[in-house]
Amino acid sequence: MTANDTTDEVGTKRIRYITICFFILIALALAIVNRKVIAEAGIELGDFAANSLLIQDAKSLSLLKGNYSRVGFNHPGPAILYVLAAGEILFYDWTRLVPSPMSGQLIAVVIYSAFWITLIGAIFYRSSKSFVGTALFLTIFLAVSAFSDFHVFAGAWFPHLYYFPFAVFTLAVASLACGRSDSLSALAVSTGFLINGHVSFVSTTGIMLGGALLANQVLSRSNGARACPSWMSLKFLSKNRSALYRALALFSIFLTPIVIETLIHFPGPVAKYVSFGAGNTRNGTLDALSFVISFWGEASLPLMLNVFCIGLIYVCTRGEEYFTEALGVLAAVFGATVALVFYAVVGVDNLTFKYLGLFYYSVPAIAVATAAYCIYLQIHGDRRQIVAIMAIVMSVVLVGSKITKAPDYKSQYSEPGIAKLYEKITSLGPLPVVLDLDPGNDWGYVWGHVVGLQAYAKRRGVDLLCVNRNWHILFTEAAKCTPQQIRDHKEFAVSTSSPILETDSASNFNFLGLLFYSVAPPLLPVPCNVTIARDKFLFRYSILGKGWSSFDGDFAWSDGKEVELLLRVPPKKAKLIQLDLAAYLPRGNSVQHVEVQSKGTIVASFDFGPTANRGIRSFAIPESSDEQIKLELLISNPVSPLEEKLSVDARKLGVGLYGIRIE
């Protein structure tokens, strides 16, 4: 071993120790800054409770899918959920260092953020070889990030958890464009976390990687193979094959869950992703550009100042030693922008949901920090270090002034009343109780508390409840009531409004702003005429059985091939039922056929077409009917707007019910 080799080994160990110490320092700093929020976290609600339902599966190593999506599927992988599960296990279950499972998850979040922040510094140091320059870049990047959205440092909401991995990915892509292999592992790990977290990152990372390889060819030819080796060179690939194999092995770990999930539940989630992408309505290019530009000109720095920073990166480094690396950063920034524009055009169903692109705030932050470093390189003599230290101190102060704030969603971290509500539910009778949720204006409040109740019960191994009417993907498939549960267990309507149904049941109660009403179908008079426009509560909690979707104005769609109507009428008095129906006919030549069954016998059949759609369909009540009449509507050809490429609506629509008349 030569003296140079010994010196290099000592230098490598020194850098490794510094990196580990820096990681610990950042994790401790974030934990201390957020100690009050962590200490006060208790029983979580809403999104965090929905994640905790999955985290309980992760703790037993059985979780193969990612966090929920509001459009009806889970994202590709559970990587972040396993990180949160590790925090819950280590800091609460095993050691009781924190007061609640949610507190353990929040500790995991600050460690997670510290890991990515450390990795950002390590990637930049490999190109700058300067501790002061790296500190300058990192602190300015963090300052701009804090002013863009301070929640990215310690917030547990998933859109915030994508921020730092995307920053690492962008810097690793810049290194790739420069023909460097020293960040391939970071590239693989960040790609894995991003794609596991949100399916949109499949296209985003793919576009950026393709753009980086293209930029690499341009830079290799213009700057020379020594300054920027080409990834198309077999010699260069052979030289770096170990790093490539290691990166591929790391990335394959993140693909394992979705592969297993696909094999177990073929065709798996991929088919849902493809269907959603095919049916999503495209946004205009100008609207998409406006969406992307908003990340450059609102929260962090004014748009023109950001553009000026981009110019500085090029002008200040032209002809300098850092020029190739600067061009790599510009290529990564451009690639990220193109990728987000593409996503905004084809993947974002509502451009007012800015959180869908929140991760992109890291791109202007990288541009500003890189511009600051380029200016730093132009300062000569002792002034360089003085200016850098002043900028570093100011940036640290600015970061501290932002991240000391409590997150806007802190109230979702703790609701002690859930424990008392749990006790009330367990006293209602045989478990699980069946819940029908009010999908009205306070749907978020109802759902947030019920899913918090679910998570609390699941941690205790209690099958507390299932959801019948107005079930949603956020509750996970396991929470949907089975026919036997609906038949054998007590059913309650849950709402923030009063009254839902006229009922004097002793089981009714009001707690945490939620009203629980025992559901018992009322005896309908004869004759009577009830409509969804006027009698929504009656239809929602009494008449509409399985298969009906939520209300669309003054009617309800059937969803699937079979739906139920439940009518309680005086026996022998009711002779005729009239249904006000309209079929879903997406095309000019569409037709629909519906059969009505009672006790397994067909009592009526109806045909719908372009010239004979909405109208009153009548049929006689069978003489053998009891007080409780259950009608099954069998729809021959339900179809979704998604399949017809008319919208992202994946419901299998058959007929819309407007009202019922009984004579």
Question: Distances from the Cα of 617 to the Cαs of 181, 585, 588, 596, 620, in angstroms?
Answer: 70, 17, 22, 11, 11
Upper half-sphere CA count for residue 540 (Cβ side, 13 Å): 24
Length of the chain: 663
Same domain, yes or no: 338 and 449: no
In a domain, 437, yes or no: yes
Question: Distances from the Cα of 509 to the Cαs of 163, 373, 501, in angstroms?
Answer: 43, 63, 13
Question: Distances from the Cα of 235 to the Cαs of 77, 231, 268, 594, in angstroms?
Answer: 35, 9, 40, 68
Q: How many beta carbons lie within 10 A of that of residue 331, not counting itself? A: 23
In a domain, 55, yes or no: no
Same domain, yes or no: 482 and 584: no
Residue 5 pLDDT > 60: no
Same domain, yes or no: 469 and 543: no
Q: Average pLDDT of 556-564?
A: 92
Residue 266 pLDDT > 60: yes
Question: What percentage of residues in the chain have a pLDDT greater than 90?
Answer: 58
Final residue in a domain of this structure, among 478, 497, 518: 518
Burial class (CB in 10 A: 0-12, 13-18, 19+), 588: exposed
Q: How far apart are CA 251 and CA 256, in angstroms?
A: 9
Closest CA to 339 of 570, 124, 455, 169: 169
Q: How far apart are CA 427 and CA 424, in angstroms?
A: 5
Alpha helices of 517-606 — where are they, by DSSP H? 536-538
Same domain, yes or no: 548 and 634: yes
Q: Average pLDDT of 290-310?
A: 73
Q: Report whether 42 contacts 416 (CB < 8 A).
A: yes
Q: How many beta carbons lie within 10 A of that of residue 258, not counting itself? A: 22
Same domain, yes or no: 370 and 446: no
Q: Using pLDDT thresholds of 50, 70 and 90, give the confidence band for residue 501.
A: very low
Same domain, yes or no: 436 and 534: no
Same domain, yes or no: 284 and 202: yes
Q: How far apart are CA 432 and CA 451, in angstroms?
A: 14
Q: How far apart are CA 348 and CA 351, in angstroms?
A: 6
In a domain, 300, yes or no: yes
In a domain, 175, yes or no: yes
Final residue in a domain of this structure, among 403, 436, 455: 403
**Strand 491-495 relative to strand 465-467, pairing:** unpaired
In a domain, 64, yes or no: no
Q: Average pLDDT of 88-113?
A: 98
Task: Give φ, ψ of 558 to 5 degrees.
Answer: -75, 145
Same domain, yes or no: 136 and 210: yes
Range of the domain at 153: 126-182+198-403
Residue 241 pLDDT > 70: yes
In a domain, 251, yes or no: yes
- The amino acid at 425: I
Same domain, yes or no: 504 and 533: no
User: What does the pLDDT read at residue 4?
Assistant: 45
Q: Average pLDDT of 585-603?
A: 90
Total number of domains in the chain: 3
CATH number at residue 624: 2.60.120.260
Q: Report whether 345 contacts 285 (CB < 8 A).
A: yes
Q: How far apart are CA 149 and CA 157, in angstroms?
A: 12
Q: Could you tell me the end-to-end alpha-carbon distance of the chain, in angstroms, rounded to an integer?
A: 100
Burial class (CB in 10 A: 0-12, 13-18, 19+), 275: middle
Same domain, yes or no: 485 and 534: no
Final residue in a domain of this structure, among 518, 537, 572: 518
Strand-pairing partners, residue 555, are 552
User: What does the pLDDT read at residue 349?
Assistant: 79
Assigned token pair, 495 = 């709402």
Same domain, yes or no: 420 and 385: no
Q: Report whether 335 contacts 208 (CB < 8 A).
A: yes
Segment 77-97, tens digit of pLDDT = 999 999 999 999 999 999 999
Q: Report whether 225 contacts 235 (CB < 8 A).
A: no
Segment 611-624, tens digit of pLDDT = 889 999 998 887 77
User: What does the pLDDT read at residue 58?
Assistant: 96
In a domain, 121, yes or no: no
Q: Report whether 578 contacts 661 (CB < 8 A).
A: yes
Mean residue pLDDT of the chain comes to: 88
Residue 277 pLDDT > 70: no
In a domain, 40, yes or no: no
Listed in sequence order, the residues at least 6 apart from 551 whose beta carbon sits closer than 8 Å to its beta carbon are 439, 532, 536, 540
Residue 8 pLDDT > 80: no
Q: What is the DSSP letter of 375?
A: H
Q: How far apart are CA 14 and CA 17, in angstroms?
A: 5
Q: Average pLDDT of 500-524?
A: 73
Same domain, yes or no: 271 and 394: yes
